[in-house]
Amino acid sequence: MSVKKKFKGLSDKAVGWLFIGPTVLLLLAINIYPLVYAIKMSFTNFYANKIGREPQFVGLKNYIKVLNKEAIWEKMQVTASFMFWTLLLQAIIGLGLALLLNRKFKGNELLTTLIVLPMMLSPAVVGVFWTYLYNPQVGLFNYVVNFFYDLGSFDMIGSSTLAPWAIVIVDTWMWTPFTMLICLAGLRSVPNYLYEAAEVDRASKWQQFIYITLPSVLPFLLLALLFRGIENFKMFDMVVELTSGGPGSATELASINLKREAFEKWKTGYSSAFAVILFVTIFGFGNVYVKVMNKIKER
């Protein structure tokens, strides 16, 4: 007691605040404040390029405009299909790779590091160099495809039917390692004696997978997909570098469309409303998803 009294330091609570304070301030400044500001702007007819003009309150007009615009629903569809295919492929390939890497073999660690490399690159850089890979004349991608199956000349980025697949392939190439890593963590958490018990209980390899591996790894996989889902809903940099939303608007994701409305057409009020709608959508989906995920975890 006497020793304690000599030092009049900060209380535990104060130290706690001291540690998280800077982060909280930073979050307030660059996340929360812009959000609140955007919500406020979404109810006005503000144009950021018209300096000096006082924005006027227009009520829900911007929201009605966004939701009634057919083009918006097209962008949403492009985004949804992009998300569906990337998440599906990343789940299957990521889990598959994790299962392979979970076995013990020589060079296991090195291979894991190599597979993880794409994830460490900048998305914009990935976008740029895949434009070279996809080049119909000199690109490696077309060469490899034609090596196995002669499709003749085709342009992944130039064709409006192939371009959506082009961005799905690049995103899968880049982010499958992420699902793989998290699945691998899940697989490593399964105690070996469960497999031994199953083996003695004469379970087939398939039964072992269904009864032991899958239920153990599923919560991990779902968590990885949640992260990937949120990221891909707002996917921007990689696709802009690769296709800039084209050809036409074949790969124009919601976020790309939003950037065009906000910073090319300068419809700040309108695009604020769009941004808020996107935010609410992803927030809602995210919450439902987390609830479902927790249910599965409890099972």
Binding site for other proteins (CB under 8 A): 191, 193-194, 196-204, 207, 211-212, 215-216, 299
Which residue in 146, 167, 190, 141 sits closest to 246, CA to CA? 167
Cβ 105 to other proteins, closest distance in Å?
Answer: 18
Nearer to other proteins, 213 or 268 (CB): 213
Nearer to other proteins, 5 or 202 (CB): 202
Adjacent-strand bridge partners of 57: 44
The whole-angstrom separation of Cα 61 and Cα 273 is 9
Cβ 218 to other proteins, closest distance in Å?
Answer: 9
Nearer to other proteins, 54 or 298 (CB): 298
Q: What share of the chain is helix, strand, coil (3-state, %, to 5)?
A: 75, 0, 25
Cβ 181 to other proteins, closest distance in Å?
Answer: 23
Cβ 298 to other proteins, closest distance in Å?
Answer: 9
Q: Residue type for 180, please?
A: M
Nearer to other proteins, 15 or 214 (CB): 214
Q: At which residue do the structure tokens 């706690």 appear?
A: 16
Nearer to other proteins, 211 or 285 (CB): 211
Q: Residue type for 260, please?
A: R
Query: DSSP string spanning 197-232?
Result: HHHHTT--HHHHIIIIIHHHHHHHHHHHHHHHHHHH
Adjacent-strand bridge partners of 44: 57
Cβ 288 to other proteins, closest distance in Å?
Answer: 23
